[in-house]
Structure 1
């Protein structure tokens, strides 16, 4: 009964009269939002040393980078269901603690199997972090203010994609184990959520979706198209994350810090796009924004496939990051607006499941392809897939213009 009362209390505030959250709440939620991108990007600079020390091939090393995606895909709907039923605060804090404990286990693991198991556990915590932070921001902010906040969230995620790989690259000079220490930031973040996040949140506004459970969402053509776009964008992003370092090695660039700079380029362009998102949204409809993002992905992957020098290769992560900086906030809001009124957390968790499934599948699909042909061929195939996404967006409505 206490859990039911807690949920009723969260829904008791009038969404039009609820006070604006304290700046500290926004700061904590934006910081925690960066932890999901840190989940994989932190380790990119040490993939090479890790692969050599553990005696694994590039596909297995890619799984270390993306294994958490599978557990997020599995655990995400459960996290969403718990949050829809019991509220956000406690599940989010528990997720942050699991994030820290399982993520930090990489400091002491010495076998590939143990490391992979810890990454799967880590993903369960990351699922709660992704869902909780996204739903909290969508619930606490409305209208034009929400467009601004989701743009800031995209920028925060991108800036995290700059800072965390730099930490990883710097700590990677000590050993490939050292970057795992950064995951321990989940501990103070969890405490901050318990202290600062309001016990009661405004109810979700009326949405275009019908009330119902997960099965209803999976039968919604519009939500399915949004999930498919999210899955594919993440799959393509991790094609760059996994194979750009290997392409750089072919071009003679192998120092972890230099590799981190290429990863940083994706995030830097994404952060700029996120800051411009609110103004772009005021002028353009969601379909136009998504078409622009998909076109940037096509160009990015074509550049990665065709250039033969390290310097112009920078354009590939820059273009792709700009596309992600536009697509992530647009997809976030569209999924929230099309969710059933009583299932926003579940709808959001399914978007996380889609995105992180794409991350997990990326090395499994493109690793064997690159091994059988070449890294350039893998990039060309990825560019063709991005072109299919672009064509699909032009044919289907993803929101109101």
Structure 2
């Protein structure tokens, strides 16, 4: 009898321990945040093929104009993200998500009356402000709602929304443009952003408790986000150029459009982040970051040097694998050991480098395209990603990270 009780007690203890080791991730709030992200990034994805075609076709702009329009939103987003991070820590994640998606919808409504490149650039600056608020709020919510030992997995699943959005969005955007026109594409994007607002309103405020605050908290620029931010800059620079110029480069190499390439790229990311969501946690975020940067650099080089549909597809696959591993691994490194009331600041600081990449990446690569041709943009992006890999190795990021 005592032995039976002992065995039962050990079994119960093992069950409790297993539950403690693997706490629940997919709570109602976590899923709601992910759905809001899906709606928001699908709205963003609709714009990906639409904006380059609108600038070059309807507004008569060249490669440099395409780069400026695509990257303009990153200027305002860059300056606002650190402030958004601090506001997220003080006011809560929900407020930023609602405000960001609302401002996004308002800015895209401005595209309806943008009859010149300067006006469109001005509207893109507003889009960037909405991006800063929503992205920081949503990313901080993902961290808050995830158990510490499952953050890499949480980032993988949550970021599926982003890549499903930029995968499905271009198909929607190109279909709407071909059948109805650009105005209809803007309206579809607005409707999706409003859907994100409605979902975000169903969330709790998600404001970190005041008693968690520590001396030095609520910093506008968080030191812990600087090194991960520089690595993020290097990794995303080339991807930003890929997203900006692949709609036109696909036509250059004889394809009918970029929806297949963008869909394949996003599909690879979705597959790895769903089936292999725990990879960054299992192999370690540092190792995953190094592998990701290597694959991204090689993929971009393949696209630029193998100038054919096959080369574009092969490079997109490699880039997709690299991107799939990179973001969850890097953001897991960024928030490691950071108190809850400072996570927004770290996310704001780190993700500000995302805006530098999406702002200066397409803009500078636009001038590269104008000077030596569009294939050169992908080769240049490969070089920058390789420099990021060198930075990770030199600083031992993910191995012995100073706090």
- State the TM-score bracket (shorter-chain normalisation): 0.7 to 0.9
Superposed displacement of residue 170, structure 1: 0.8
Aligned residue number for residue 273 of structure 1 = 272
Instruction: Give the TM-score taking structure 1 as reference length.
Output: 0.85
Aligned residue number for residue 259 of structure 1 = 258
Within 5 A, what are the aligned runs for 1:111-260?
111-173=116-178, 174-184=180-190, 185-194=192-201, 196-200=202-206, 211-214=216-219, 217-218=222-223, 220=224, 223-253=225-255, 255=256, 258-260=257-259
Tell which structure's C-alpha radius of gyration is larger.
2
Question: Is this contact kept in 1: 2:229–2:353, CA < 8 A?
Answer: yes
1:57 correspondence with 2:62: yes
Within 5 A, what are the aligned runs for 1:43-82?
43-46=47-50, 47-82=52-87
Q: Deviations over 1:129-188 (max 9, x none)?
A: 101111111011113443332111122221112111111111121223332223322223
Alpha carbons of 1:381 and 1:37: their partners in 2 closer, same or farther (altered >3 Å)?
same
1:361 correspondence with 2:360: yes
Residues in 1 aligned to 2:104 and 2:124: alpha-carbon distance in whole angstroms: 10
Question: Is this contact kept in 2: 1:210–1:340, CA < 8 A?
Answer: no
Superposed displacement of residue 277, structure 1: 4.2
Residues in 2 aligned to 1:69 and 1:36: alpha-carbon distance in whole angstroms: 17
Alpha carbons of 1:200 and 1:350: their partners in 2 closer, same or farther (altered >3 Å)?
closer
1:31 correspondence with 2:35: yes
Residues in 2 aligned to 1:118 and 1:237: alpha-carbon distance in whole angstroms: 23
1:319 correspondence with 2:318: yes
Aligned residue number for residue 12 of structure 2 = none
Name structure 1 gaps, 5 residues minimum.
1-15
Question: Is this contact kept in 1: 2:298–2:315, CA < 8 A?
Answer: yes
Question: Is this contact kept in 1: 2:156–2:328, CA < 8 A?
Answer: yes
Superposed displacement of residue 245, structure 1: 2.6
What is the root-mean-square deviation in Å for CA atoms of aligned residues? 2.8
Aligned residue number for residue 332 of structure 1 = 331
Residues in 2 aligned to 1:282 and 1:206: alpha-carbon distance in whole angstroms: 26
Within 5 A, what are the aligned runs for 1:390-401?
390-400=389-399
Question: Is this contact kept in 1: 2:36–2:195, CA < 8 A?
Answer: no
Within 5 A, what are the aligned runs for 1:287-306?
287-306=286-305
Superposed displacement of residue 204, structure 1: 10
Partner SS, residue 43 of structure 1: helix
Partner SS, residue 273 of structure 1: helix
Superposed displacement of residue 36, structure 1: 6.1
Q: Deviations over 1:164-218 (max 9, x none)?
A: 1111111121223332223322223223222x212455659989x9844436624
Question: Is this contact kept in 2: 1:50–1:176, CA < 8 A?
Answer: no
Alpha carbons of 1:115 and 1:378: their partners in 2 closer, same or farther (altered >3 Å)?
closer
Partner SS, residue 160 of structure 2: helix
Question: Is this contact kept in 2: 1:158–1:271, CA < 8 A?
Answer: yes
Alpha carbons of 1:70 and 1:229: their partners in 2 closer, same or farther (altered >3 Å)?
same
